[in-house]
Amino acid sequence: MSDLPIGDYAALSDRHSVALVSRDGSIDWFCRPAFDSPSLFGRLLDADAGHWTIAPDGPYTVERSYIEDTMALRTVFTCENGTVEVRDALLLGEHGDPRDMGREAPRALARIVECTAGEVDVRTVFKARPEYGMVHPILSVVPGGVTAVGGPLRMMVTSTADMEISHDGAIAAATLAEGQRLHFLSQAVTLADPEPRPWSAERIESAFADTIAAWRNWSDRHRQDLGRHTDIAHRSRLVLESLRYQPTGAIVAAPTTSLPEEIGGVRNWDYRYAWVRDASFTVQALADSGCYAEAGEFFRYLSQTAAHYHATHPLQIMFGIHGHHDLTERELDHLSGWRNSRPVRVGNAAWRQSQLDVYGELLDAAWRVRDAFTEPAPPMRRFLMQVAQAAADQWGDKDNGIWEARGEPRHYTYSKAMCWVALDRAVRLAPQLGLEEEAVGWAEQRDRVRAAVEDEGWNPRVGAFTASFGSEDLDASVLMLPLVGFLPGTDERIRSTVDLIADRLVDDRGLVRRYLTSGGDGLPGGEGSFLLCSFWLVQALTAVEEADRAEDLFDRVCSYANDVGLLSEEVDGATGELLGNFPQAFSHIGLINAASALHGHGRAD
C-alpha cells in the first residue's frame, strides 16, 4: 500500500492524462493513454503497482514549485555535497492557439535532471506495471534507453544515463557535477501505434521549452484580477484546464480513483468521469475567468453526449470522457488501496442513479453560455426543451440527491430547488430557442416548485432549509439557494440557514461537512470536511453581507492547499490531511467561484 500523504503529490498534465509526482521524485500515478485508462504507474494504490523515481542517492531536503504559470514542476533536492534540480512535464507539443493546447501532444513524459551546485549521486528506477499493476512487462536495454513490452502498451524510456535491468525494473545511477544534466523521456503507446523511438537530449529540451511556452500563452489569456486572491485562483484555473480532456472538452472530477473519504474506509470512488452536476459550477468558474471558449466546449460535450435524451426517463448524471454511457463499477481485489482503504474501484455505479438537480445545473450552464448558440441547431434546441420538460414533469419525484446517497431516495430540498433553476432558466432561454409556447407551462411549474420548497423545505422548528422535505437534518447543499437566485441573501430564512450551517456543520478546524453521516446515506463509516461546501459557505456569507467572515473562511480553507496549491476533495478533521480524489475539480471550482464572489464578480442570476 502507499503511505505518503495525498498532499505530498503534485500533478502534471498534457490534457490527455495526469501524472502525480511525490515530493520524493516518484511518479506514483499515471494512466495512459487517457485519464480513464488503466494505470501504468499505480503505487499510489499498491506498493507493487508501479512507479518511476528520480532522486538523489542519499539524504536530502526538498523544495518544489510549479514553473511560473505552468503545470510543469521544479523539484530541488538539497544534499550534503550539492543540489540537484528535477524538472518534470507532460509534453504539450508546439504552442499555438491556446484553445488547441495539447492537441498535438506527443504523449511523452519528460524529466530533466541538473546538478546546480556541488556534486550529487542520482538514481532512477523505472518500474512500469500496466493494467493497474497486473502486467509485469519485459524490459530490454536498447541504444538510447530501455523498452518495455507487455499488455496493451509498448513503452520506451529515453535515458542519457546508462540503464540496466534488475528485479526492481530499469535502473540507472550517475554522479553529476555542477552544470551537468541527464535527460529522460517516457513514452507509452498502444499496440496499434508506431513503435516509439528514443529522443535526443536536444529534442527533449526543445519540447520542454515548447510546453512551458504553451502553458504561459494560455495563462496570459486567462489571468483575471481578483485582488489578493489573483494568484491562488489562477493556479486553480490551471488545475481545471489540466483536468479538461482535450479531444472532447470533458472535465474529469479528478484524475484518480479510490482515494478515500475516510482512511481505511469504504467510501472510495472512481472520479475519472464528467458529471452533469458539475456543469453549472464549472461553466460559472470558466466564464467568470474569461475562459469562454473552454466553457462552451464543456457544455457542447455534455449536450452532445446526452443528445439522445428522452424526458420520460431521468437524465444520466455522468458520462465517460469520450462520451460513453456505461460506467459499470467493479472492484480491483489485487490492489491494497491507499493506506489499506479498500475496495479499490473502477467505474462508478452512481451513473444509474436519479438526481433531479442535474436539470438545473445543465440549464443554468446553458444560460451562462447562451451567447455561444444564438441560433441553436435543432438537436441542441430539442435537447434543451427535453431537459426543461423533464424538470417540469419529474420535480415532484424522490431522488438520490446531489451527494449520490446509496440509501432510499428522498425529496431532497436542493434537488427541488435546482428543478426551479431549470425551469427558470428555460423560461429565460425560451425566446432564443423559439419555445415561448412551452415556456408558459414551465413558468407555472416553476411557481409550484418554489411554493413546495418554501413550504416543505423550510423547517421552522430548526430555523433552516433542511436536507429534505420534512427532515430536521442540515445539508450544506442548501447554501446554494441564494447563489442560484432562488432567494436573496437578505431573506431572513437564508440568514438563519447560513448561520445554523456555520454553527452545526463546521468542524473543529472551521471547515464545512456536507452533512452529518449517520448511516442515512446507505454507507458505513464517515468522511472528512468537504472543501467545496466550505467555499459555498464563503459565497453564502458574501451573499448575506458578512464579508469579513467570508474572507476569514476563504483564507482558512485555502490554507489546506498543499505546497504547490493543489486541493483534494476533503480534509480529515482530526489530522488536517487531505482526503479523497486529487486534485479535485470541484474544490478548485469552488475556490475560483468564491474568490470571484469576494472580489465582486460573482453573480446569482
- Give domain limits for the chain: 6-194+212-219, 223-598
Q: How confident is the model at residue 308 (pLDDT cuts 50, 70, 90)?
A: confident
Query: Which H or E run contains 537?
Result: helix 531-543
Tell me, what's the pLDDT at 65? 98
- Pick one of 1.10.3720.10, 3.40.50.280, 2.30.30.90, 2.70.98.50 as the CATH number of 6-194+212-219: 2.70.98.50
Residue position matching grid coordinates 432562488 = 486
Give Dmax over CA atoms of the chain in angstroms.
Answer: 78
What grid cell was written down for 513? 461537512
Residue-wise burial string across 294-310, b where 16 or more C-beta atoms lie within 10 A, e elsewhere = bbbbbbbbbbebbeebe
Angle at 434 between CA 394 and CA 302, to 5 degrees: 55
Tell me, what's the pLDDT at 87? 98
Cβ neighbourhood burial of 321 (10 Å; 0-12, 13-18, 19+): buried
The torsion angles phi and psi of 13, rounded to 5 degrees, stand at: -150, 145
Residue-wise burial string across 368-380, b where 16 or more C-beta atoms lie within 10 A, e elsewhere = bbbeebeebeeeb
**How high is the mean pLDDT of the chain?**
92
**Amino acid identity of 259?**
L
When mean pLDDT is compared over 60-64, 224-228, 317-321, 351-355, the highest value belongs to 60-64
**Would you say 515 and 475 are in contact if contact means Cβ atoms under 8 Å apart?**
yes
**Would you say 480 and 536 are in contact if contact means Cβ atoms under 8 Å apart?**
yes
Q: How confident is the model at residue 315 (pLDDT cuts 50, 70, 90)?
A: confident
Q: How many angstroms separate the Cα of 257 from the Cα of each of 212, 273, 361?
A: 28, 10, 24
Say if residue 406's pLDDT is above 90.
Answer: no
The torsion angles phi and psi of 440, rounded to 5 degrees, stand at: -60, -50
Tell me, what's the pLDDT at 524? 65
- Using DSSP, state whether 78 is helix, strand or coil: strand
Residue-wise burial string across 402-427, b where 16 or more C-beta atoms lie within 10 A, e elsewhere = bbbbeeebbbbbbbbbbbbbbbbbbb
Q: Following DSSP, what letter does each residue of 379-419 receive, concatenated?
A: HHHHHHHHHHHHHHHHTTS-B-TTTT-SS--B-BHHHHHHH
Residue-wise burial string across 330-363, b where 16 or more C-beta atoms lie within 10 A, e elsewhere = eebeebbbbbebbebbbbbebbebbbbbbbbbbb
Q: What percent of the chain has pLDDT over 90?
A: 77
The DSSP bridge partners found for residue 30 are: 19, 41
Say if residue 605's pLDDT is above 60.
Answer: no
Of 72, 152, 157, 86, nearest to 116 by C-alpha is 86
- Using DSSP, state whether 292 is helix, strand or coil: helix
Angle at 255 between CA 251 and CA 259, to 5 degrees: 130
Could you report the per-residue pLDDT of 29-66, keeping only the tens digit for each?
999 999 999 999 999 999 999 999 999 999 999 999 99
Say if residue 604's pLDDT is above 60.
Answer: no
Tell me, what's the pLDDT at 404? 77
- Pick one of 1.50.10.10, 1.10.10.10, 3.40.228.10, 4.10.520.10 as the CATH number of 223-598: 1.50.10.10
First-to-final CA distance of the chain: 47
Q: How confident is the model at residue 378 (pLDDT cuts 50, 70, 90)?
A: confident
Tell me, what's the pLDDT at 215? 95
Of 208, 273, 153, nearest to 12 by C-alpha is 208
Q: Please check whether the two domains, 6-194+212-219 and 223-598, share a CATH topology.
A: no
Q: How confident is the model at residue 74 (pLDDT cuts 50, 70, 90)?
A: very high
Say if residue 417's pLDDT is above 80.
Answer: yes
* Cα–Cα dist 507/488, whole Å: 27
Could you report the per-residue pLDDT of 493-530, keeping only the tens digit for each?
999 999 999 999 999 999 999 988 554 555 666 788 99
Could you report the per-residue pLDDT of 434-455, keeping only the tens digit for each?
999 999 999 999 999 999 999 9
Query: Which H or E run contains 502?
Result: helix 492-504
* Cα–Cα dist 256/11, whole Å: 11
Tell me, what's the pLDDT at 1? 47
Q: Give 315's DSSP letter.
A: P
Could you report the per-residue pLDDT of 541-551, keeping only the tens digit for each?
999 999 999 99
**Would you say 97 and 65 are in contact if contact means Cβ atoms under 8 Å apart?**
no
Query: Which H or E run contains 55?
Result: strand 51-56
Say if residue 602's pLDDT is above 50.
Answer: no
